[in-house]
A and B are shown apart, each in its own frame.
Chain A
Amino acid sequence: MPDQKAGQICIVTVTGADRVGIIAKLATTMARANINIVDVNQKIMEDYFVMTMAVDIGKATIDIGEIKKRLDRVGKEMALKITIHDENIFKAMHRV
């Protein structure tokens, strides 16, 4: 994954009820802040709809605090729980 060296990979997690337009809405939010989407996955787990989106915020025009605020707004609009974490927290916790 050579792109990781240059940027900062974060994982956006979306949980809630599946509906039309989630990815589109997030993609627009990201594009506006010059954030590149690297990977998208989704699954139904324990009755939750869970989507994870790996994004590179290395060249973003806003900081992670502002990204969080915008994601919260999207989450409120669409009745979803959206979080963003630096990818390294997951690597630390789930890789020996």
Chain B
Amino acid sequence: MRISVEEVFETVKMTLDHHFDIRTVTLGINLKDCIDRDLARLTKRVHARIVEKGQLLNKYADVVEQKYGIPITNRRIAVTPASLLLEPLPRRTSTAVRFAKALDIAARKADIDFLGGFGAMVQKGMTAAEENLIDAIPGALSQTQRVCGFLNLASTLAGINMNAVVKVGHVIRDLAHRSENGVGCAKLAVFANVPEDSPFMAGAHHGIGEPDFSLNIGISGPGVVRSVVARNPDCDLTQLSEVIKQTVFKITRAGELIGRELAGLMRVDFGIVDISLAPTTLAGDSVAEIIEAMGVGRMGSPGTTAALALLIDAVKKGGAMASGNVGGLSGTFIPVSEDAGMIRAVRSGALSLEKLEALTSVCSVGLDMFAVPGDTPPEIISSIIADELSIGVVNNKTTSVRIIPVPGAKPGDIIHFGGLLGSAPVMKVAARFASPRFIERRGRVPSPLLALRN
């Protein structure tokens, strides 16, 4: 049956009026075979591969974008966690920083805006090389533009590595003070249960269970979902869930088609479709505005958690029906600085850091892209991370923290990061009665009973 005018119009309107796009195509690249005891030889091989594949990715993404008329906004690369590649090299932070710079140069040459994978899996413990890499993060991320870092600090099976959590509090604070407005911290995400195939930055990396190459795709359409919710102002919540489901089905199918075709052209394996609703700072492309269109007065006011839970459930059901390859994070992102509705909610006092934490229990990714005063002590940063990661560990889900301590800023200030990163109102940390004693006990928070499933 030929496609009807109505169906064509619906799709065209999504792209013209509601910012429907393929948010990212991310090529995962295995670099394990580049490992060497000589840094120069390692970086030479890594450079050659990233440049070759990155240029191919850009070339074919243009072809597919043109063919289907759906914008492919970002083209990115995720690599094997750098800590593995650095294992045989001297334990010097300067070595790790030099490697990060090599990744940055390769990404620039391939015209790739962000490259993920400068990180480590340390949920249970750290090897000497991993510890060295973590120490190198402030230098590496403040001296590069395109490299993103991730650390998996906890998992449901391992518990929480509190030694690493304590260390990371200092690393984040140090990184913040080495970059303007602390913006270097936007390139570092710390996780519980990090997925190994997410196409979204800053956490994207090419996990050890992955093939040589894997093309993962992140679709996005908060604007599309908001518009369908707004067009149904009076239906009950069951029906509302249905219309969201149907819309997400459609955009996921578009993502799957484009991802498969691109992977075919590049002759690499197609990985997953990440169905996460990812907002941008563009007007109307906001997750908070979906929640508000559902009938909650302002993002953060009572009813928000329930509305968000319903939204994400409908997104997952529509996405799972549309594709057998749904993976990655596949939840909903509520980054503060990158979503105009979230910024408004924080500024008006409707959304506090505590409510934001509660919302992360029903959605991915976690406490994302939020600014705090730059003098927030490292142990408070670590405590915030520990709280957030526990939500992930106990609920068997991914959670993450991307916190930006802004030097010299106080609660209420607005910090402009520019570009994709948006601008963040500095949030108040309710730390009047905080004590470092809990964090400083260190050790490992044991895995929950939930982990004993065999």
Residues of A within 8 A of B (CB): 1, 11, 13, 15, 39, 41-43, 45, 48, 50-52, 54, 64-65, 68, 81, 83-95
Is B11 a contact of A91 with CB atoms below 8 Å? Answer: no
Query: 30 A-B pairs, CB-CB below 8 angstroms?
Result: A13-B9, A41-B4, A41-B5, A43-B6, A45-B9, A48-B9, A50-B9, A52-B3, A52-B9, A64-B66, A68-B66, A81-B16, A83-B12, A83-B16, A84-B69, A85-B68, A85-B70, A86-B68, A88-B68, A88-B257, A89-B68, A89-B254, A89-B258, A90-B7, A92-B257, A93-B250, A93-B253, A94-B7, A94-B11, A94-B250
Residues of A close to B250: CB separation below 8 A: 93-94
In terms of DSSP, what is the predominant structure of the interface of chain B? helix
Is A89 a contact of B70 with CB atoms below 8 Å? Answer: yes
Is A42 a contact of B254 with CB atoms below 8 Å? Answer: no
Q: Which B-chain residue is minimally distant from A14 (CB atoms)?
A: B12
Residues of B close to A48: CB separation below 8 A: 9
What's the nearest-Cβ distance from chain B to residue A43, in Å?
5
Docked Cα-Cα span, A45 to B6, in Å, equals 8
Docked Cα-Cα span, A1 to B3, in Å, equals 13
Q: Which B-chain residue is minimally distant from A85 (CB atoms)?
A: B69
User: Most chain-B Cβ atoms within 10 A of its Cβ — which of A52, A90, A93?
Assistant: A93
**Which of A54, A83, A84 interacts with B2 by CB under 8 Å?**
A54
Name B337-364 residues within 8 Å CB distance of A: none
Residues of B close to A39: CB separation below 8 A: 2
Given known contacts A11-B8, A93-B250, A93-B253, A87 and B3 CB-to-CB distance under 8 angstroms: yes
The 7 closest A-B pairs by CB, nearest first: A85-B69, A93-B250, A92-B257, A90-B3, A94-B7, A92-B253, A89-B68
Other 8 A-B pairs with CB < 8 A, given A86-B69, A91-B3:
A43-B9, A52-B3, A54-B2, A85-B11, A85-B68, A89-B69, A93-B11, A94-B11
Residues of B close to A85: CB separation below 8 A: 11-12, 67-70
What's the nearest-Cβ distance from chain B to residue A2, in Å?
14
What's the nearest-Cβ distance from chain A to residue B177, in Å?
47
Residues of A close to B15: CB separation below 8 A: 83
What's the nearest-Cβ distance from chain B to residue A24, in Å?
20
Given known contacts A15-B12, A83-B69, A86-B68, A45 and B5 CB-to-CB distance under 8 angstroms: yes
Residues of B close to A43: CB separation below 8 A: 5-6, 9
User: Most chain-A Cβ atoms within 10 A of its Cβ — which of B4, B69, B257?
Assistant: B69
Is B5 a contact of A89 with CB atoms below 8 Å? Answer: no
Docked Cα-Cα span, A39 to B2, in Å, equals 9
- Map CB proximity to A onto B1-45 as digits: 1 under 8 Å, 0 otherwise: 111111111111001100000000000000000000000000000
Is A86 a contact of B254 with CB atoms below 8 Å? Answer: no
Cβ of B388 within 8 Å of any chain A Cβ, yes or no, is no
Q: Which A-chain residue is minimally distant from B1 (CB atoms)?
A: A95
Q: Which B-chain residue is minimally distant from A51 (CB atoms)?
A: B5
